[in-house]
Chains A and B, each alone.
Chain A
Amino acid sequence: MENLILRTDGLTKLYGSSAAVNGVSMHVKKGDIYGFVGRNGAGKTTLMRLVCGLVAKSGGSYELFGCPDSDPRIDVTRRKMGAIIETPSLYPNFTAYQNLKVQCMAAGIGDDTIERTLELVGLSGTGDKKAKNFSLGMRQRLGIAAALVTSPEFLILDEPVNGLDPQGIAEVRELLRRLNRERGITVFISSHILGELAKLATTFGFIERGMLLKEVSAADLEAACRRSVILHLNGIVRFADAMNGLGVAEYRVLSQTSVEVFSDISVSALAFALRDVGLEILHVTENDVDLEKYFMQLIGGNRQ
C-alpha cells in the first residue's frame, strides 16, 4: 500500500450554487513534489485552503497522514504541516526573527530553529529591519521560512515564487529540492510558472473548473511530452531496416503510412536512410510538447 500524505475523495467546495472544487480525488505520496497545475480560478487555492482547514468543505472528504478530516485528531495531525496560501503570513511591524518566534510560540516549540531557518532562506542578515520594509521577494522568503520553522513533514505552497526574481526562483527551487531530498519533506506546490514546476515536480495534478483532470508522474509526463517527429510515408515496409541502419531504437508505428520517431536525428538523415530502403517521406510533423502545451491540450480536450 502506498504511503499517502494527502488523499482527497470527492472533495467539493460550493460557493452558492457554483463549485470552486468539484469532486476532487487526488493522491500525494510521501516524498513527492506534487505540482498542482491549473489556470487562475481553476480551484487550486480553494483546494489548498480546504486541506489546510481554512475553509469548510461542502462534500467529500480528505485524509492527512492517514487521519480523516472528520477525526478530532486532525488538528494535531496538522502540526506536521507548513503552508503558504496566496500571501505569506507575516506581521508587518515585526522583524524576520520576531515573525518566526511568534510562529514557534504558537506551535509550542522552542526557538532554536529560527536562526537556521533564516539562514536557509537567505534572510539571516536582516537584523532589526521590519517585515513591512522587506521587498516582495524577501517577504516571500520569510513566508517560506515561517512555513519551515516548525519542521513540517508536508509543505503546501501556493504560488511560492510569486514576486521573486529569476535568481530567487532558482534558489527556492533548489531549496525545495534539498528539503525534499535531505529531509524527506513532501511538497504540494502550485505555480503559474509551468517551466519551474516541470523542473521540480515528481508528480503533477491538473485541475480545471474545480475538477481534477489528471494525475500523472513526472516520468509519464516526460514520455508524453517527449520530442518526436511524425513521418508520413508512402508505406512502412522495411522501415525497421532503415531505423536499424541509423541506430534508432525508439519509434512507434501510428498507421500504414505514418510513424513517430523519438530521436534527435536530423530529418535529412532520416530521408536518406528511408530512400535507401525504398521509402519516401511525404511530409514531416514535429511533435514538441512541453508541460504548458500538455496542459493546454488537456484543458482543450476537456472543453470539447
Chain B
Amino acid sequence: MKALLRADFYRLFRSKFFYILSAVALGLSLVTLGLYAVINEFSEMADMGIAVVDAFAFQRASFDGTVGYFSAIAAAVFICGDYSGGGMRAKIVIGCGRRKIFYSKLIVCAFVSAVLYLIMQFVVFAFGGAVFGWRGVSVYDAVSLFFTGLFMALAYAAIFASLSVLLQKLSSSLILGIVCIFALNLIVSLLSIAVASLESAVFARFYEVFARLTPVGQNAAVVGGAEDYWVLSAISAAWVAAAALLVPLRFVRQDLK
C-alpha cells in the first residue's frame, strides 16, 4: 500500500493537470472574490456603510460546486489515464492487489480534492477576511463550515474515484461525472422552486432530506443557509466509507481491457 501510494503520488506531482486545476481553482476563487467586492462596492447599501456580503457569506458562497467538477475531472484524468497507459494493468500483473490499488487511488483523489478545496478556502480566509471582514461572525460557524466543506470534497473524491475505477474510460467517467453533477443540481433547484411555490410541508421535508444526501445537494443546502454542519459532514463521511467498502467488491471481479 505504501509502495503504491509512493508511485501514485510520484505520478501525481509530475502531472500537469494537478497544477492546472490548482491554478484554475485559485483563479476562479479570486474572480469570485472580485465580483463580490464589486457587489459590495456598488450596492445601494454601501452608501449607508452596510456590507451586503461579509466574509462568512463569502465562505458560504464558495460552496458553489466547483470542487465537485474539479474532483470529477481530477479522478477521471488520474485514474483513467492509468488505465489507458497500462499502469493499472502493470500494477495488477506484478501483484499489487486490486483492493490496495483502489485505496491508493482513493487517497490520491481525496488529496487532490482536498488541495483544491484548501486553495479556494485560502482565498476565503486570507483575502475574504481582508476584503469583507469577519465582524460578527462566529468562529465556531466558520470553522465548522470549513470542515463541512472538507468532508464534502472528500465525498466528491470518493464518488468520482469510484466511478473512474469502475468505468475505466476517460470520456465515460468525465461525461457521467459532470452529467451527474448537472442532473443533481437541476433536481435540487427544481425541488427548491417547488418548495417555494407550493409551500407544502411534505415537499419541504423531502427537499431537506434530498439536499443533504449528496455533496451536490449539500452545496445548495449550505448556500441556502443550512447550519447542521456536522450532520452534513457525517453524511459526506458515509459516502467515503461506502466507496471504501463497496467498490473493491466490484473492482476485484472486474475485467480489465
Q: Enumerate chain A interface residues (CB-CB to B < 8 A).
A: 49, 52-56, 74-79, 81-83, 85, 87-94, 98, 101-103, 105-108, 146, 150, 156
Contacts and interface: CB of A to CB of B under 8 A. Distances in A.
Given A91-B85, A94-B14, A106 B90 contact: yes
Task: Specify which of B10, B87, B95, B97 lies most central, judged by the most chain A CB atoms within 10 Å of its CB.
Answer: B95
Contacts of B14: 93-94, 98
The list of the 7 closest CB pairs from A to B, nearest first, reads A89-B86, A78-B95, A108-B3, A105-B7, A89-B90, A106-B7, A55-B255
B93 A56 contact: no
Contact of B94 (A87, A90, A98, A150): A150
Given A52-B93, A106-B3, 11 more contacts: A52-B92, A53-B93, A53-B95, A54-B93, A54-B255, A78-B95, A102-B10, A103-B7, A105-B7, A106-B94, A107-B3
A89 B83 CA distance: 9
B90 A103 contact: yes
B4 interface: yes
Contacts of A93: 14-16
23 contacts: A52-B89, A52-B92, A55-B255, A56-B253, A56-B255, A74-B95, A75-B96, A75-B97, A77-B95, A79-B95, A81-B93, A88-B86, A89-B87, A93-B14, A93-B15, A94-B14, A103-B94, A105-B10, A106-B3, A106-B87, A107-B3, A146-B90, A156-B93
A93 B90 CA distance: 17
B91 interface: yes
A52 B16 CA distance: 31
A94 B90 CA distance: 15
Interface residues of B, number: 27
Contacts of A49: 255-256
Contact of A78 (B6, B16, B94): B94
B94 A55 contact: no
B256 A55 contact: yes
A90 B16 CA distance: 17
Nearest to A156: B93
Contacts of B10: 101-102, 105
Contacts of B89: 52, 54, 85, 89
A56 B4 CA distance: 23
B11 A81 contact: no
A29 B81 CA distance: 36
A79 B3 contact: no
A92 to B, nearest CB: 7
Nearest to B256: A54
Interface string B89-115: 111111111000000000000000000
Contact of B93 (A78, A92, A98): A78
A130 to B, nearest CB: 11
B11 A107 contact: no
Contacts of B16: 93
A106 B10 CA distance: 10
A39 to B, nearest CB: 21
A228 to B, nearest CB: 43
B86 A82 contact: no
Contacts, number: 87
B17 to A, nearest CB: 10
Interface in B241-257: 253-256
Contacts of B92: 52-54, 78
A237 B149 CA distance: 99
A93 B13 CA distance: 12
A143 B141 CA distance: 54
A102 B15 CA distance: 13
A90 B85 CA distance: 5
Contacts of A81: 93-95
Task: Specify which of B10, B89, B254 lies most central, judged by the most chain A CB atoms within 10 Å of its CB.
Answer: B89
A56 B250 CA distance: 12
A160 to B, nearest CB: 14
Contact of A91 (B87, B93, B254, B256): B87
Nearest to A88: B86
A106 B15 contact: no
Contacts of B6: 105
Nearest to A55: B255
Contacts of A82: 93-94
B95 A75 contact: yes
B96 A106 contact: yes
A81 B96 CA distance: 12
Contacts of B97: 75
B28 to A, nearest CB: 25
A79 B97 CA distance: 10
Contacts of B85: 89-92
A49 B256 CA distance: 9
A54 B3 CA distance: 20
B19 to A, nearest CB: 13
A87 B93 contact: no
A140 B187 CA distance: 49
